[in-house]
Amino acid sequence: MISGSLRAGSVNTAVLTTAGSLAGDGVETSLYGGMGELPPFNPDDDPDGGPVDGRVAELRRRIGEADALLVCTPEYAGALPGSFKNLLDWTIGGGEMWGKPVAWINASSRPDAGGAAGAHESLRAALGYTGSEVVEDACRRIVVPRSAISPDGVVSDQDMRATIAEALTALCGHAAAARSAGSA
Protein backbone atom coordinates (compact mmCIF):
# COMPACT_ATOMS: atom_id res chain seq x y z
CA MET A 1 0.00 0.00 0.00
CA ILE A 2 1.25 3.47 -0.82
CA SER A 3 -0.01 6.72 0.66
CA GLY A 4 0.51 9.75 -1.53
CA SER A 5 0.74 11.98 1.53
CA LEU A 6 3.71 12.83 3.72
CA ARG A 7 1.53 14.69 6.25
CA ALA A 8 1.61 13.49 9.84
CA GLY A 9 -1.92 12.38 10.67
CA SER A 10 -2.80 12.03 6.98
CA VAL A 11 -6.34 10.88 6.21
CA ASN A 12 -4.93 8.98 3.22
CA THR A 13 -2.46 7.09 5.38
CA ALA A 14 -5.22 6.43 7.93
CA VAL A 15 -7.37 4.87 5.19
CA LEU A 16 -4.54 2.51 4.23
CA THR A 17 -3.74 1.71 7.86
CA THR A 18 -7.42 0.86 8.25
CA ALA A 19 -7.27 -1.36 5.16
CA GLY A 20 -4.34 -3.21 6.70
CA SER A 21 -6.26 -3.74 9.92
CA LEU A 22 -9.23 -5.12 7.98
CA ALA A 23 -7.25 -7.56 5.84
CA GLY A 24 -8.65 -11.06 6.05
CA ASP A 25 -6.89 -14.35 6.59
CA GLY A 26 -4.25 -15.04 3.98
CA VAL A 27 -3.85 -11.35 3.10
CA GLU A 28 -0.61 -9.70 4.13
CA THR A 29 -0.43 -5.92 3.81
CA SER A 30 2.53 -3.61 3.96
CA LEU A 31 2.43 0.18 4.02
CA TYR A 32 5.40 1.75 2.22
CA GLY A 33 6.83 4.58 4.28
CA GLY A 34 9.91 5.72 2.36
CA MET A 35 8.39 8.20 -0.09
CA GLY A 36 9.89 11.24 1.62
CA GLU A 37 13.37 9.71 1.45
CA LEU A 38 13.42 9.06 -2.30
CA PRO A 39 15.82 11.23 -4.30
CA PRO A 40 14.38 13.53 -6.95
CA PHE A 41 13.85 11.56 -10.13
CA ASN A 42 16.49 12.08 -12.79
CA PRO A 43 16.66 9.75 -15.81
CA ASP A 44 20.46 9.94 -15.64
CA ASP A 45 20.23 8.20 -12.25
CA ASP A 46 18.12 5.37 -13.70
CA PRO A 47 20.29 3.81 -16.42
CA ASP A 48 18.96 0.78 -18.31
CA GLY A 49 20.18 -2.26 -16.39
CA GLY A 50 22.36 -0.10 -14.17
CA PRO A 51 22.34 0.39 -10.43
CA VAL A 52 19.97 2.85 -8.79
CA ASP A 53 19.98 4.57 -5.41
CA GLY A 54 19.38 2.04 -2.62
CA ARG A 55 16.14 3.73 -1.58
CA VAL A 56 14.81 3.38 -5.12
CA ALA A 57 15.97 -0.23 -5.26
CA GLU A 58 14.07 -0.92 -2.02
CA LEU A 59 10.89 0.68 -3.40
CA ARG A 60 11.15 -1.39 -6.56
CA ARG A 61 11.86 -4.57 -4.61
CA ARG A 62 8.79 -4.09 -2.43
CA ILE A 63 6.57 -3.36 -5.42
CA GLY A 64 7.97 -6.36 -7.25
CA GLU A 65 7.16 -8.65 -4.32
CA ALA A 66 3.58 -7.38 -4.00
CA ASP A 67 0.70 -9.19 -5.68
CA ALA A 68 -1.22 -5.89 -5.93
CA LEU A 69 -1.05 -2.26 -4.88
CA LEU A 70 -3.63 -0.16 -3.06
CA VAL A 71 -3.04 3.59 -3.23
CA CYS A 72 -4.65 6.50 -1.43
CA THR A 73 -3.49 9.99 -2.35
CA PRO A 74 -4.60 13.56 -1.81
CA GLU A 75 -4.78 16.19 -4.51
CA TYR A 76 -2.55 19.27 -4.55
CA ALA A 77 -2.94 22.06 -7.09
CA GLY A 78 -5.31 19.90 -9.16
CA ALA A 79 -2.97 16.93 -9.54
CA LEU A 80 -0.82 14.45 -7.61
CA PRO A 81 1.40 15.71 -4.80
CA GLY A 82 4.95 16.21 -6.09
CA SER A 83 6.49 13.65 -3.74
CA PHE A 84 4.05 10.97 -4.89
CA LYS A 85 4.59 11.83 -8.56
CA ASN A 86 8.33 11.50 -7.87
CA LEU A 87 7.72 7.99 -6.48
CA LEU A 88 5.71 7.05 -9.57
CA ASP A 89 8.45 8.41 -11.85
CA TRP A 90 10.91 6.00 -10.17
CA THR A 91 8.58 3.06 -10.83
CA ILE A 92 8.47 3.51 -14.60
CA GLY A 93 12.05 2.48 -15.37
CA GLY A 94 12.11 -0.59 -13.14
CA GLY A 95 9.25 -2.47 -14.74
CA GLU A 96 7.99 -3.93 -11.44
CA MET A 97 4.55 -2.38 -11.94
CA TRP A 98 4.02 -4.00 -15.37
CA GLY A 99 0.75 -5.94 -15.22
CA LYS A 100 0.44 -5.35 -11.46
CA PRO A 101 -3.18 -4.95 -10.27
CA VAL A 102 -3.61 -1.47 -8.77
CA ALA A 103 -6.59 0.24 -7.16
CA TRP A 104 -7.08 3.44 -5.26
CA ILE A 105 -9.35 4.84 -2.65
CA ASN A 106 -10.32 8.47 -3.10
CA ALA A 107 -10.58 9.69 0.48
CA SER A 108 -11.26 13.34 -0.17
CA SER A 109 -12.79 15.28 2.69
CA ARG A 110 -14.85 17.23 0.13
CA PRO A 111 -18.41 15.95 -0.08
CA ASP A 112 -18.83 16.90 -3.77
CA ALA A 113 -18.22 14.17 -6.32
CA GLY A 114 -15.24 16.03 -7.82
CA GLY A 115 -13.05 15.84 -4.69
CA ALA A 116 -9.51 14.80 -5.69
CA ALA A 117 -10.63 14.02 -9.25
CA GLY A 118 -7.56 15.78 -10.68
CA ALA A 119 -5.23 13.61 -8.62
CA HIS A 120 -6.91 10.44 -9.79
CA GLU A 121 -6.85 11.51 -13.44
CA SER A 122 -3.11 12.17 -13.02
CA LEU A 123 -2.68 8.83 -11.24
CA ARG A 124 -4.48 6.96 -14.00
CA ALA A 125 -2.24 8.63 -16.61
CA ALA A 126 0.96 7.82 -14.69
CA LEU A 127 -0.13 4.21 -14.14
CA GLY A 128 -0.58 3.91 -17.89
CA TYR A 129 3.15 4.51 -18.28
CA THR A 130 3.99 1.88 -15.67
CA GLY A 131 1.93 -0.80 -17.41
CA SER A 132 -0.18 -1.37 -14.31
CA GLU A 133 -3.65 -2.85 -14.51
CA VAL A 134 -6.19 -0.56 -12.86
CA VAL A 135 -8.81 -2.70 -11.12
CA GLU A 136 -11.87 -0.49 -11.52
CA ASP A 137 -14.06 -2.72 -9.32
CA ALA A 138 -11.67 -2.10 -6.43
CA CYS A 139 -11.48 1.71 -6.76
CA ARG A 140 -13.65 3.57 -4.29
CA ARG A 141 -14.54 7.12 -3.31
CA ILE A 142 -15.39 7.92 0.27
CA VAL A 143 -15.65 11.18 2.15
CA VAL A 144 -13.35 10.94 5.17
CA PRO A 145 -13.26 14.00 7.40
CA ARG A 146 -10.35 14.24 9.85
CA SER A 147 -12.88 13.78 12.66
CA ALA A 148 -13.45 10.20 11.45
CA ILE A 149 -9.87 9.24 12.35
CA SER A 150 -9.48 7.79 15.83
CA PRO A 151 -6.44 8.51 18.03
CA ASP A 152 -4.87 5.19 16.97
CA GLY A 153 -4.77 6.42 13.35
CA VAL A 154 -7.55 4.33 11.82
CA VAL A 155 -10.94 5.24 10.44
CA SER A 156 -13.54 4.69 13.14
CA ASP A 157 -16.78 5.10 11.16
CA GLN A 158 -18.24 1.66 10.39
CA ASP A 159 -19.69 2.59 6.99
CA MET A 160 -16.34 4.01 5.87
CA ARG A 161 -14.56 0.93 7.19
CA ALA A 162 -16.95 -1.27 5.20
CA THR A 163 -16.15 0.66 2.00
CA ILE A 164 -12.41 0.32 2.66
CA ALA A 165 -12.84 -3.42 3.27
CA GLU A 166 -14.83 -3.77 0.02
CA ALA A 167 -12.02 -2.12 -1.95
CA LEU A 168 -9.36 -4.33 -0.39
CA THR A 169 -11.46 -7.47 -0.89
CA ALA A 170 -12.08 -6.63 -4.56
CA LEU A 171 -8.38 -5.94 -5.18
CA CYS A 172 -7.25 -9.10 -3.39
CA GLY A 173 -9.84 -11.18 -5.26
CA HIS A 174 -8.61 -9.82 -8.56
CA ALA A 175 -4.96 -10.45 -7.63
CA ALA A 176 -5.77 -14.02 -6.56
CA ALA A 177 -7.62 -14.70 -9.81
CA ALA A 178 -4.74 -13.26 -11.84
CA ARG A 179 -2.23 -15.35 -9.88
CA SER A 180 -4.32 -18.52 -10.47
CA ALA A 181 -4.69 -17.78 -14.18
CA GLY A 182 -0.94 -17.24 -14.46
CA SER A 183 -0.12 -20.56 -12.84
CA ALA A 184 -2.63 -22.59 -14.89
Q: Is 40 left (phi over 0), alpha (psi -120 to 50) or beta?
A: beta
Alpha-carbon distances of 121 from 16, 28, 56, 116, rounded to whole Å: 20, 28, 25, 9
* In the chain, % of residues over pLDDT 70: 95
Examine the pLDDT at 79 and tell me if it is beyond 60. Answer: yes
Which helix (H) or strand (E) segment holds residue 134: the answer is strand 133-134
Highest mean pLDDT among 103-107, 144-148, 163-167: 163-167
Average pLDDT, the chain: 91
Cα–Cα distance, 20 to 164 (Å, whole number): 10
Q: Report domain extents, the chain.
A: 2-183
Cα–Cα distance, 34 to 171 (Å, whole number): 23
* Prediction pTM value: 0.92
Alpha-carbon distances of 160 from 70, 85, 174, rounded to whole Å: 16, 27, 21
Counting beta carbons within 10 angstroms of the beta carbon of residue 166, is it exposed (0 to 12), middle (13 to 18) or buried (19 or more)?
middle
According to the model, what pLDDT value does residue 184 have?
45
Q: Confidence class of residue 49 from pLDDT cuts 50, 70 and 90?
A: confident
Q: Which fold has domain 2-183?
A: Rossmann fold (3.40.50)
Report the SS3 class of residue 109.
Answer: coil
According to the model, what pLDDT value does residue 115 have?
65
Cα-based torsion angle of the residue sequence 33, 91, 114, 105 in order, rounded to the nearest 10 degrees: -50
Q: Determine how many CB atoms are found less than 10 A away from the CB of residue 83.
A: 16
Per residue in 11-40, pLDDT (tens digit) is 999 999 999 999 988 899 999 999 999 999
* CB-based contacts of 124, cutoff 8 Å, min separation 6: 134
Q: Confidence class of residue 76 from pLDDT cuts 50, 70 and 90?
A: confident
